[in-house]
Amino acid sequence: MKRLTLLTSGLALVAGMAAANDDLITQMDNADQWAIQTGDYKNQRYSELDQINAENVGDLQVAWTFSTGVLRGHEGSPLVIGDTMYLHTPFPNIVYALDLANDGKIKWKYEPQQDPDVIPVMCCDTVNRGVAYADGKIFLHQADTTVVALNAESGEVMWEVVNGDPSKGETNTATVLPVKDKVIVGISGGEFGVRGSVTAYDMNTGEQVWRAYSMGPDEDILVDPENTTHLGEPVGENSGTNTWEGDQWMIGGGTTWGWYSADMDENLFYYGTGNPSTWNPSQRPGDNRWSMTVMARDIDTGMAKWFYQMTPHDEWDYDGVNEMILTEQEIDGEERKLLTHFDRNGLAYTMDRVSGELLVAEKYDPAVNWTTGVDMDPESDTYGRPAVVAQYSTEQQGEDVNTTGICPAALGTKDQQPAAYSPKTETFYVPTNHVCMDYEPFRVSYTAGQPYVGATLAMYPAPDSHGGMGNFIAWDNINGEIKWSIPEQFSVWSGALATAGDVVFYGTLEGYLKAVHAETGDELYRFKTPSGIIGNVMTYMHEGKQHIGILSGVGGWAGIGLAAGLTNPNDGLGAVGGYAALSDYTALGGQLTVFTLPD
């Protein structure tokens, strides 16, 4: 009887896993919906919908709007499942369920009660990148690190669990990855000396299944020294501690506040880790593994299959958390499973996502000057490492020395604002920053819950260029080159959307939703929304009509001056001065704007 009970329990567990996984995959496969923040598990942000296309997109009209009732920066996007839209806000992280079949009537509203003391612990505005859906639940990872599962129909709290400790600087700004029977979540707080991690919780109970730290002993970072590889070689024992001085890895950063993708056939998920702590490189000698790293891990166990560290011993705050976009493409005459990553450091990487082999590493903004490029010779001792230009090395210049003219700035050639990929054109569409900086490191001591930065920054447009602070580019990930580029006055801090209608959408910090031709980049449409756009464009079909949705509400790192009322040019980790002119074009506001074609 006991054996039978165990057997039936096991079958029920497997059935539950399959149901949860199949439910979300079914929802994602329905192009009429937008069931996950990234569009699909591959992070392609591509829609098969083509009712709105390059021929008629110029006729778009505003169909309806919704005020979120919250100021500060609005990142992420709504989800649409069936006739319900799920909408989120920055802190206090309100979630709305809107009935699309009833003029957007509010079906339910969830407003968590969070301690406002978490606000000053959040590095770069009080943003949140959206809720997730799976198995009849809506998942929210709050600013205070509470992970909540809500009943998708009623908004009732089904379970909640605390993932971190804001008193130590641990917060959250990211969405979560619901995959199989798990919800995988990250953590923010690299500027407060936290130790980054990813954690898997049981989708049905909230029970912790596993946790993988970014640095530390092998058992903490879930590494098999002989079978986890870096550029094809085993990482060896103690890889997460032996490039750190003493026990500094315990406050080493490497936070995981970006995007997640998954390959269900390989049973792997992919993400990147952030900057090492502190920003002063002289205080943490060594490569500081595994900060600044692309990680591939087993979904069920969290065990690492391979790593690739992009910026060893980071000297510029070039977090590696940007999205990993998964494609199947031909390279060197062979069809391969690829991963493409546009890093903050200004380099775009194409890798084999099964083996971790590095295939392409090229600058996706010509202004990038801190490196001459990555050593691509597998026989070289420096294989896979970027060659650092001494003039722009903040460590070689020394503490209390202002290193000037570094490109890109700390916010990178691209921050978290996600790119899109069209399998129709085999092209990536990338929102970018065209910004450089001066960087002065200084000695800093660690106190739990207090900033642990150790650098003063100033930001400005890249010199000898178009005078603006951004470009929207089309990128060839096989040849590693720009196909076309659209100059923008400010950084493009909005996530892109590519569609089968040969249209690519993105938003601007001034507040414009823009539509361009996927092949040429020619502008086809623009509309000025009430506030600057740092949200991500999404699309869905309802009552036979395709709609385009975008959150506006200026903020984020680029808009932190406006969002938080800051005026000192060096505040906002250097962004306030760089984006001071933004206040001439837009003001605070939180609104969803939905577009469609006229009848």
Of the candidates 185, 186, 187, the one whose C-alpha atom is nearest the C-alpha of residue 168 is 187
SS3 of 201-220: the string is EECCCCCEEEEEECCCCHHH
pLDDT above 70 for 262: yes
Residue 117 sits at φ, ψ, to 5 deg, of -65, -15
CATH number at residue 508: 2.140.10.10
CA 570 – CA 576 distance, rounded (Å): 6
Residue 66: partners with Cβ closer than 8 Å, 6 or more residues away: 87, 96, 98, 104, 591, 592, 594
The token duo for 410 is 């700390």
Q: Is the pLDDT of residue 217 over 60?
A: yes
Structure tokens at 520: 């040429």
DSSP secondary structure, 373-411, as one string: EE---TTSTTTTPEEEPGGG-HHHH-TT--EEEESS-TT
User: Catalytic pick from 317, 319, 365, 438?
Assistant: 317
Q: Where are the beta strands (DSSP E) in 442-534?
A: 455-461, 470-476, 481-488, 497-499, 503-507, 512-517, 523-528
**Mean pLDDT calculated for residue range 258-276:** 98
pLDDT number for residue 1: 35
Within a domain: 377: no
Judged against a pLDDT cut of 50, whether residue 12 lies above it is answered with: no
Q: Give the C-alpha separation, 94 to 112, whole Å.
A: 7
Distance CA 343, CA 281 (A): 19
Residue 21 has a pLDDT of 65
Decide if pLDDT at 52 tops 50.
Answer: yes
Are residues 500 and 48 in contact, defined by beta-carbon separation less than 8 angstroms?
yes
pLDDT on residue 141 = 98
Fill in the amino acid letter for 223. V
Residue 518: give the domain boundaries: 2-371+386-596
In a domain, 14, yes or no: yes
Q: Is residue 241 part of a domain?
A: yes
Q: DSSP character for 65?
A: E
Averaged pLDDT for residues 120-134: 94
Question: Is residue 9 predicted with pLDDT exceeding 50?
Answer: no
Greatest alpha-carbon pair distance for the chain in Å reads 78
User: pLDDT band at 8, cuts 50/70/90?
Assistant: very low
- Chain mean pLDDT for the chain: 95
List 596's β-bridge partners, or say none. Answer: 61, 547
* Cβ neighbourhood burial of 476 (10 Å; 0-12, 13-18, 19+): middle
Q: What are the Cα distances from residue 475, in Å, to 81, 303, 518, 569?
A: 31, 32, 11, 33
Task: Give the residue from 480, 450, 429 showing the smallest Cα distance to 323.
Answer: 429
For the chain, what is the radius of gyration of the CA atoms? 22
pLDDT higher than threshold 50 for residue 4: no
Q: Is residue 357 part of a domain?
A: yes
Answer whether residue 326 is part of any domain.
yes
Which segments are annotated as binding site for pyrroloquinoline quinone? 75, 129, 173, 255
**How much is the pLDDT for 482?**
98
Q: Which tops the pLDDT comparison, 408 or 576?
A: 408
Mean per-residue pLDDT, 202-226: 98
The whole-number average pLDDT for the span 430-456 is 96
Residue 561 inside a domain? The answer is: yes
- CA-CA-CA-CA dihedral for 143, 149, 151, 152, to nearest 10: 60
The answer to whether 145 touches 213, Cβ cutoff 8 Å, is no
**Strand ordering across the sheet containing 146-151:** 132-134, 137-141, 146-151, 157-162
Nearest to 361 by CA among 308, 289, 319: 308
Q: Is residue 89 part of a domain?
A: yes
Contact 268, 193 (CB under 8 A): no
For position 571, what pLDDT does the model report?
86
| Backbone torsion region of residue 398, taken as left when φ is above 0, otherwise alpha when ψ lies between -120 and 50, otherwise beta | left
* Predicted confidence (pLDDT) per residue in 455-489, tens digit: 999 999 999 889 899 999 999 999 999 999 999 99
Tokens 């990680």 found at: 295
Q: Domain count of the chain?
A: 1
Q: What is the 3-state secondary structure (H, E, C) of 264-294?
A: CCCCEEEEECCCECCCCHHHCCCCCCCCCEE
d(CA 364, CA 340): 12
Q: Which two tokens stand for residue 589?
A: 């506001």
Nearest-5° Cα angle at 16, 354 to 223: 35
What is the four-CA torsion angle of 46, 51, 54, 56, rounded to 10 degrees?
-150
Q: Does residue 64 belong to any structural domain of this protein?
A: yes
Q: Which of 416, 405, 430, 402 is nearest to 318 (CA)?
A: 416
pLDDT at 314 over 80: yes
Question: DSSP states of 336-373 as a string?
Answer: EEEEEEE-TTSEEEEEETTT--EEEEEESSTT--SEEE
Is 32 tagged catalytic?
Answer: no
pLDDT class of 5 with cuts at 50, 70, 90:
very low
Average the pLDDT over 485-514 and give the result.
Answer: 98
